[in-house]
Structure 1
Amino acid sequence: MFLALAHEARRQVLLLLAQRGDELPSGYLAARFQHSWPTTSRHLKVLEEAGLVDVRRQGRSSNYRLNRARLEQVVGGWMGHLEPVDPEQRWSSSGPKSTAALAERTPPGSCEM
C-alpha cells in the first residue's frame, strides 16, 4: 500500500476522490492530469490493487471511489506505532543475543557475497 502512496499523481487521485466524497469516472480523473490516459490507467490500477480505491465498472466506463476504511486501517494502524511510549517501558529483543547465537541461526553460505 505504501508503494501505491509513494507517487504524487496517485496521492492526487486520492485527494480528488476524498474531496468529492463520491465516485468519479476515470475520464474525469484523467482530465485532471497532464500525463497520458494510459499513465492514468496504470495509476488507477495500482490504487485498485492496493485496495485504496473501489471500482464500479459499467460497460466500457469505470467509476472510482476512495476506500476510506482500508486507508484508515492501514495508515491509521501505522500511525499508532508513532505514538509516544511510556519512558519506563523497556523493549525486549526477540532475536539472538550474541554473534554466536546469530551464527547458529544463520544457514551456512547464506551470507556469502
Structure 2
Amino acid sequence: MGVPDTIKALSDPIRRDVLMMLKGGRLTAGEIAERSGISPAACSYHLNILKKADLVMEYRQKNFIYYELSATLFDELILWLSQFGGKCDEE
C-alpha cells in the first residue's frame, strides 16, 4: 500500500487507538477487542485494514495470533512526513 492508503488507515480513531495499544507490546485480537470495547468482528475488520496498510504485523504462536506494530513503516512514514515540516533552528 502507498502513503494515501496508510493515511486512510490512520484516519479512523479506533485504528489509532489500536496502534496506541500495540505501542505497549504484542496483543491478541481478543485482548484488543476487550480493551477497545468493540466486537470481535469489528476488531478483525480494523486489524485487517491495519495489516493491509503494513502498520501492524501478525505472529502465530501455538493457538494464538499476536499483533504488533510494524516499526519499519512508521520510520518510512516519519521520513516522508518530515519533508513537509519547517526547518529546525540550528544552534
Range into which the TM-score falls when normalised by the shorter chain: 0.7 to 0.9
**RMSD, aligned α-carbons:** 1.6
Query: Could you list the runs of 5+ residues in structure 2 that have no partner in the other structure?
Result: 1-5
Per the normalisation by structure 1, the TM-score is: 0.65
In percent, how many aligned pairs have the same letter? 29
Is the 2:17–2:36 Cα contact (8 Å) retained in structure 1? no
Looking at CA atoms only, which structure, 1 or 2, has the larger radius of gyration?
Answer: 1
1:15 is paired with a residue of what secondary structure? Answer: helix
Return the match for 1:42 from 42, 45, 57.
45
TM-score (normalised: structure 2): 0.79
Structure 1 runs (4+) deviating above 4 angstroms are none
CA drift of 1:45 comes to 0.5
SS at match of 2:36: coil
> What residue in structure 2 maps to residue 62 of structure 1?
65
Task: Indicate the residue corresponding to 1:9 in structure 2.
Answer: 14
Are the equivalent residues in 1 in contact too, given 2:29–2:40 (CA < 8 A)?
no
Matched, 1:51 2:54: yes
Give the number of aligned pairs: 82
